[in-house]
Chains A and B, each alone.
Chain A
């Protein structure tokens, strides 16, 4: 059992210690409108006892008014947030949900399945460790499933739970489940996932969500929640070289000068050699200052203030990186954009790019191609429209430190801002380094950031995947 124990059961001290030492897992749920995604999240919240009596009362009232389950409580209504969305019966934005067990805390990005909202899914996926991709057992894999799998792989998610939902409606057919699992494995093969875990479940009835499903004797694997409690987190970020973007130079007096920031990846300790980009000056970590005292070392995910051994000039926007693995500094970026604005993007457009903690002017010097979100194929285009995924070259007005997104999500991800409206116009992923703008006919295999490329190359892999 993973539901909260009562504190009386094993004493307040160990109870507090257990809760205060828990890790967090961030995951995204992807599914089409009818796959039962909201019901699944509602089920996770309900069965881990996150739902309170007054919320159940409100739910009963709302179920009669908006529900789709007749007289039964519609768990989907727990998570369908904004009133306008309720009335339309679909979720149209990213919502964050929270629940916890004795083992972990969870932050769920609940993103829409509707086709035109790739931006929201990209946002939700950008910080997720795991994607839960829902499939309706009656439908099997759909275009949406392929689209979701492609999208989460593009955003760098390495671990996927394939939640085959509504198994009760296909009589818990083991053959059906096996067919869906095999089909998914075949088409996900080139997407670079480290792990795909398929789980047959019924969100409506609760089988294999939190508790094992009594209806499924042939399934000997773990329920979804147990998988989420045990899957490793932040593996890639911990393994990557040390990176920290300077947010703020803390200089309260002439005695102290520290560089404050959130460690994007890796590990740092006093005595470590570092290089400051873009100035390319080197120094040594003298102290890791925090309000709780100096640390003997710090790791990705911590907000710290670094004091360097030398009088190095670094300001907001600089990146402090491991000297053994310096960060690239460039004023020309090949990037994959998730275009979010309603207006078109044309060659020559100037936007603001915020990369880490630096904001620069970026001119779209080339629009190379658009990625078809259903077939995965790149096609040459000269403009991007709302919700397009496209590959472009940006020329920046000064050099900035970046990594390829495939190597580091936090130092390789950026946003483009419309200078007039100030809206966020695109999410961008830095692709592998290139010296010159490429022609529009660029082969996908060259610009595709995800490793490893399987035999036959990624392009043929994607063709296989989408039956092209």
Chain B
């Protein structure tokens, strides 16, 4: 940060400073008022920001909770390599959970379709892991600007013992006073970056120099076009249609998930400033790259009620 900018900031807080402070406050409240919190780590840019904020919130102490990744076994290879490297570099307490029952049944996005795969490997996998470790609060990187039903999501979202979200039982969150009380078996989903936008996330990553998965930066990658989506041929599990050959196109990802369900965008943006420039000029929302949001309006709201994060 430039000296002039630092001087300006000393007097009046910037938007990013206030967002950071709010997120840190939320994390500290959670640690102070819950028994066994965990941070859900999805390896994406929002998770990278969340982790960075958590390290700041509890410095100079260590992170007072573990990270947990629900591994559907269909993540991009580069995501897994990045996850393991970050865990090693930072000495993180990282739990990796895969739904073994789903894995044994061979559930996958290609054989079973996105809806079944996401439900079994992600939603059910998450519930299993939360139950197994008896976590009573789980941090997630969801943002209110992502999707219409999330605009009304609380920062502290109460879930039943069955992990269901009830839109009627969401609590008012005035000032900075949050109600973290819950009954036995109930748990909280905590969204410290609720008030961040996609642009804020990128600006903060640039400002703080936060490491992110290289897939966010454009470079030529082998992709095929399916239903208007550019799908990266990340391994040999993606069956090619007759006559279909992967083409090397300069692409990047605005959001990361399971590779067969995550569309790339054509781009030459290979640096953070270029990505931020593209984000401002973007004509499509970042969730367009998500196949699972496409089951019609209200799809995300239904999935959330079923316990999708």
Q: Could you list which residues of chain A lie within 8 angstroms of chain B, going by C-beta atoms?
A: 4, 6-8, 12, 15-17, 19-24, 52-55, 58, 61-62, 79, 81-84, 93-98, 100, 104-105, 107, 110, 119-120, 122-123, 126-127, 247-248, 250-252, 256, 260-262, 264, 289-292, 296-297, 299, 301-303, 305, 316, 340, 352, 354-357, 409-410, 413-415, 417, 422-424, 427
Contact = CB atoms under 8 A, between A and B. Distances in A.
Given A15-B273, A98-B144, 20 more contacts: A7-B280, A24-B18, A79-B151, A94-B172, A95-B152, A96-B151, A96-B195, A98-B195, A105-B197, A123-B173, A251-B61, A252-B60, A256-B60, A260-B57, A262-B22, A291-B60, A297-B10, A302-B21, A303-B28, A357-B32
B32 to A, nearest CB: 5
Determine chain A's interface SS by DSSP, over half rule. mixed
A402 B5 CA distance: 36
A17 B2 contact: yes
B13 A260 contact: no
A445 to B, nearest CB: 26
A82 B167 contact: yes
Contacts of A6: 277, 280-281
A17 B9 CA distance: 11
A410 B273 contact: no
B177 A415 contact: yes
Given A126-B174, A302-B21, A291 B59 contact: yes
Contacts of B145: 97-98
A316 B186 CA distance: 24
Nearest to B61: A252
Nearest to B208: A292
A396 to B, nearest CB: 15
Contacts of A110: 151
A58 B176 CA distance: 35
B174 A58 contact: no
A122 B144 CA distance: 20
B177 A21 contact: no
Interface residues of B, number: 75
A202 B12 CA distance: 34
Contacts of B151: 79, 81, 95-97, 110
B175 A410 contact: yes
B32 A248 contact: yes
Q: Which of B19, B55, B195 has the most A CB atoms < 10 Å from its CB? A: B195
Q: Which of B61, B206, B298, B301 has the most A CB atoms < 10 Å from its CB? A: B61
Q: Which of A19, A79, A264 has the most B CB atoms < 10 Å from its CB? A: A19
Given A15-B273, A302-B13, A94 B20 contact: no
Q: Which of A6, A52, A81 has the most B CB atoms < 10 Å from its CB? A: A81
Interface in B188-246: 194-195, 197, 199-200, 203, 206-207
Nearest to A17: B5
Interface string B32-75: 10000000000000000000000111111110000000000000
